[in-house]
């Protein structure tokens, strides 16, 4: 997928702009606080109908304005699509080729982007929720049934947790738990099976990309820590095996579950860890290595996605090149040349020379975006 | 003065499911404008329903008599029972005109969050029916939500424990959760999984 034309009005600090990006690497450069991330956010918004920053929808509209607009012409394997998003105080309008789309789920997959932002760094070192979210998003972007199972699972958890508390208070007999255990196991096992299946394939991509970007003979292992598997116990990932272990696991913890009033095993509590040569990346990787690892994980997802869907998503890399040494920067640029359309933000106006890539460059200054060629504004 | 009786009508209408302030106001003004006979016709219909309609002693369906029209119809196959959550579902299934068995209405589904356990459902009469009459098959047609699924599972166990009646769960044409927003893939994969006999 590719953006052929992007037009914004009253979006964040951008009053109005029309950007015609290049097909390959696009570099957005400018000083701090000028609107580079805002531009990426607009592209992300076009894909997810939401933002990656912790902010309210109405903050996307330029201060003092009532509404904002993001308009994009997307090319998806040769087929152009016009997307128009309007943001108002309360409302959000979505049109594809002039036709309104009323539900987000129907829009899903219209335009795919993969984002790397400074927050992605938390993937390696941060809390488990972030890793679960990363994993889940990677899976459901290719498999809608998975998203659906996740939602069902959450509802089952809520019901089951209430029931555990009712049992603790002696208001409900324990046998009423049986059907909720079965539901939990049925849906939870499907989720687990998809995760195992996904990781098996994904890790191949990761290892390859990790070797290209980080370490030539580097080893990268991704371990999935399932709460229903005891330490050292093997798990092949077959559905009936998962179901059996899940049931047995519940039987082992149910007393404590009732005491505590919450479900203690299942995919909602599982975690991932990344192991490099010396051991867990969480404790061994340096700042720069963590960064490269997180980047490799994100780029692998994009590559995986593009293999499955037949076309790469648009890559949004916010502030990725800072802190990289020249060697790693080179490796990254060699890799990016073989991806589809890329948007990179940086405060370094010479990044293109340092990366030794041909690129389309835009200067971002106080919310104004200008194409720059041979050092001249156009 | 005059407005207070109108306000009361609006407030009463607002208690109906799916009716907000705006709709309630529109309905109230409409009723004020129509001829008195028509408005009172509505009031009387409500009154009559409340006086006459109750639940069928056997199946829990709506009925004007001790037994509902379906239970007292001798051409119906009484050995085939379709279990549903609400009386509304009886209407929906019967409207298709293909089902010749009888029904059982649970008046709800298991939901710990709403404090609904087995004792809150119309279950005992069902188990009594299974004891007292010759039943060949029970079709579990509770909703395709997690609550409906849990209820179906619960019933399947209960019935199997009692005796060897065939228990089946209907295959759903609509996706689980009852939300149509989940597009075709989900429906499809669900449908393939559906049509199962519950062991
Ligand atoms: N709704 C809005 N209306 C007007 N200005 C806004 C709005 N939201 C954010 N801004 C402004 O946009 C600017 C930030 O832009 P952005 O985050 O894109 O900076 P940046 O170019 O990525 O900078 P850095 O290099 O520091 O990351 C801030 O000055 C902020 O005040
Ligand atoms: Mg920024
Ligand atoms: Zn009846």
Q: What is the pLDDT of residue B71?
A: 95
**Alpha carbons A220 and A212: distance in angstroms, whole number:** 12
Q: How confident is the model at residue B179 (pLDDT cuts 50, 70, 90)?
A: very low
Q: For residue range A298-356, list pLDDT tens digits in order.
A: 999 999 988 988 889 999 999 988 778 889 899 999 999 988 999 999 999 988 888 88
Q: What is the pLDDT of residue A52?
A: 86
Q: For A127-162, how does the pLDDT look when each residue is reduced to its tens digit (9 = 90+)?
A: 999 999 999 988 988 887 898 899 999 999 999 999
Q: How far apart are CA A351 and CA A85, in angstroms?
A: 32
Structure tokens that stand for A330 in this block: 């080179």
Residue B110 with chain A: CB contacts under 8 Å: 176, 179
Q: A15-51: per-residue pLDDT in tens?
A: 999 999 999 999 999 999 999 999 999 999 999 888 8
Residue A187 Cβ inside 6 Å of ligand 1? The answer reads no
Q: Which atom of ligand 1 is nearest to the CA of A40?
A: 18
Q: What sign does the CA torsion over A294, A300, A302, A305 have? A: negative
pLDDT tens-place string over residues B99-136 = 899 999 999 999 999 999 999 999 999 999 999 999 99
For residue B2, what pLDDT band results from cuts at 50, 70 and 90? low
Fill in the DSSP letter of residue A50: S
Q: Which among B150, B175, B185 is the nearest to A179, CB-wise?
A: B150
Is B49 or B56 the better-scoring residue by pLDDT? B56
Query: Which residues of A fall within a CB distance of 8 Å from B176?
Result: 148, 152
Q: Which of A48, A42, A107 is nearest to A71 (CA)?
A: A42
Determine, for residues A159 and B157 on separate chains, whether the beta-carbon distance falls below 8 Å. Answer: no
Chain B: nearest CA to A304, how far in angstroms? 21
The strand ranges marked E within B42-170 are 54-55, 62-63, 77-84, 101-105, 137-140, 166-169
Is A277 within 8 Å of chain B by CB? no
Model confidence pLDDT, tens digit, residues A72-95: 999 988 899 999 999 986 667 899
Q: How far apart are CA B67 and CA B79, in angstroms?
A: 17
**Out of A145, A163, A176, whose CB is closest to B186?**
A145
State how far residue B158 is from chain A, nearest Cα, in angstroms. 11
Give the model's pLDDT for residue B174: 44
* ipTM here: 0.75
Q: How far is B92 from chain A, CA to nearest CA, in Å?
A: 25
For residue B72, how far is its CA from the centre of ligand 3 (angstroms)? 7
Closest Cα to atom 5 of ligand 1: A13
Maximum distance among all Cα pairs of chain B, rounded to whole angstroms: 67
Interface of A with B in 97-126 (CB under 8 A): 103, 105-106
Degrees (nearest 5) of the Cα angle A269, A270, A272?
Answer: 140
Contact A360, A26 (CB under 8 A): yes
Angle of helix A144-168 relative to helix A177-213, nearest 10 degrees, comes to 140
Whether residue B167 has pLDDT greater than 50: yes
The two counts, helices (H) then strands (E), for chain B are: 7, 7
Higher per-residue confidence, B187 vs A235: A235
* Fold observed for domain A1-112+314-378: Rossmann fold (3.40.50)
Q: Do A106 and B183 touch (CB under 8 A)?
A: yes
| Helices of type H across A126-274 | 128-140, 144-168, 177-213, 239-260
- Would you list the domain boundaries of chain A? 1-112+314-378
pLDDT band at residue A217, thresholds of 50, 70 and 90? confident
Question: Tens of pLDDT along A111-128?
Answer: 999 999 888 888 888 899
Q: Does A166 touch chain B (CB under 8 A)?
A: yes
Length of chain B: 199
**B110·A179 Cβ contact <8 A:** yes
Contact A372, A378 (CB under 8 A): yes
For residue B181, pLDDT over 70 is answered with: no
The answer to whether A301 and A229 have CB atoms below 8 angstroms apart is no
Quick one: average pLDDT of A256-262?
96
Considering only CB atoms, A163 lies closest to which of B112, B177, B183, namely B112
Element (H, E) at A317: strand A314-317
- Residue B182: per-residue pLDDT: 40
Q: What is the pLDDT of residue B172?
A: 63
How confident is the prediction for chain A on average, in pLDDT?
91
pLDDT in the model for residue A283: 82
From the options 3.50.50.60, 3.40.1360.10, 3.40.50.2300, 3.40.50.10470, give the CATH code of B75-193.
3.40.1360.10
């Amino acid at each position: 997928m590719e953006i052929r034309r992007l037009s914004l009005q009253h979006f964040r600090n951008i009053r109005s702009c029309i950007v015609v990006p290049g097909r390959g690497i696009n570099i957005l450069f400018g000083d701090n606080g000028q609107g580079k991330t805002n531009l990426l956010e607009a592209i992300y918004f076009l894909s997810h109908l939401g933002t990656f920053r912790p902010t309210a929808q109405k903050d996307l509209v330029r201060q003092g304005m009532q509404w904002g607009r993001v308009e994009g012409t997307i090319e998806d394997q040769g087929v152009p699509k016009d997307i128009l998003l309007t943001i108002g105080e309360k409302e959000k309008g979505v049109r594809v080729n002039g036709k309104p789309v009323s539900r987000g789920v129907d829009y899903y997959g219209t335009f795919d982007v993969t984002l790397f932002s400074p927050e992605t760094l938390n993937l390696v070192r941060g809390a488990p929720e972030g890793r679960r979210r990363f994993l889940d998003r990677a899976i459901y972007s290719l498999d809608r049934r998975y998203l659906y199972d996740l939602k069902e699972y959450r509802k089952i958890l809520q019901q089951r947790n209430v029931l555990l508390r009712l049992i603790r208070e002696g208001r409900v007999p324990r046998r009423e738990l049986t059907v909720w255990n079965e539901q939990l196991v049925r849906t939870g096992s499907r989720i687990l099976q998809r995760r195992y299946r996904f990781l098996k394939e994904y890790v191949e991509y990761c290892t390859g990309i990790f070797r290209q970007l980080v370490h030539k003979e580097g080893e990268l292992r991704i371990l999935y820590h399932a709460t229903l598997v005891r330490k050292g116990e093997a798990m092949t990932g077959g559905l009936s095996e998962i179901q059996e272990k899940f049931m047995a696991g519940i039987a082992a913890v149910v007393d404590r579950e009732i005491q505590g009033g919450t479900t203690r095993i299942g995919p909602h509590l599982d975690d991932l860890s990344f192991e490099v040569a010396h051991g867990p990346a969480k404790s061994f990787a340096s700042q720069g290595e963590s960064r490269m690892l997180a980047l490799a994980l994100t780029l692998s997802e994009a590559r995986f996605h593009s293999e499955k869907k037949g076309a790469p998503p648009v890559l949004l890399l916010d502030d990725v090149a800072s802190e990289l040494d020249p060697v790693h920067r080179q490796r990254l640029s060699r890799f990016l040349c073989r991806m589809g359309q890329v948007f990179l933000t940086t405060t370094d106006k010479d990044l293109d020379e340092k990366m030794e890539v041909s690129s389309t460059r835009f200067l971002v200054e106080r919310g104004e975006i200008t194409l720059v060629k041979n050092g001249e504004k156009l | 003065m005059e407005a207070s009786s109108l306000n009361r009508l609006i407030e009463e209408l607002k208690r109906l499911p799916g009716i907000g302030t705006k709709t309630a106001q529109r309905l109230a003004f409409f009723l004020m404008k129509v001829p008195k006979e028509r408005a009172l016709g509505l009031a009387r219909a409500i009154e009559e329903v409340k006086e006459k309609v109750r639940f069928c002693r056997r199946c829990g369906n709506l009925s004007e008599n001790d037994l509902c029209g379906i239970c007292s119809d001798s051409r119906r196959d009484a050995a085939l029972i379709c279990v549903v959550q609400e009386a509304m579902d009886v209407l929906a299934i019967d409207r298709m005109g293909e089902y010749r068995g009888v029904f059982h209405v649970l008046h709800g589904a298991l939901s710990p969050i709403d404090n609904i356990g087995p004792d809150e459902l119309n279950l005992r009469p069902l188990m009594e029916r299974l004891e007292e009459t010759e039943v060949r098959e029970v079709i579990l047609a509770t909703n395709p939500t997690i609550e409906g699924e849990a209820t179906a599972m619960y019933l399947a166990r209960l019935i199997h424990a009692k005796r060897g009646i065939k228990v089946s769960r209907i295959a759903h044409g609509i996706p689980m959760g009852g939300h149509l927003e989940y597009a075709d893939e989900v429906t499809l994969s669900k449908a393939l999984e559906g049509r199962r006999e519950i062991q």
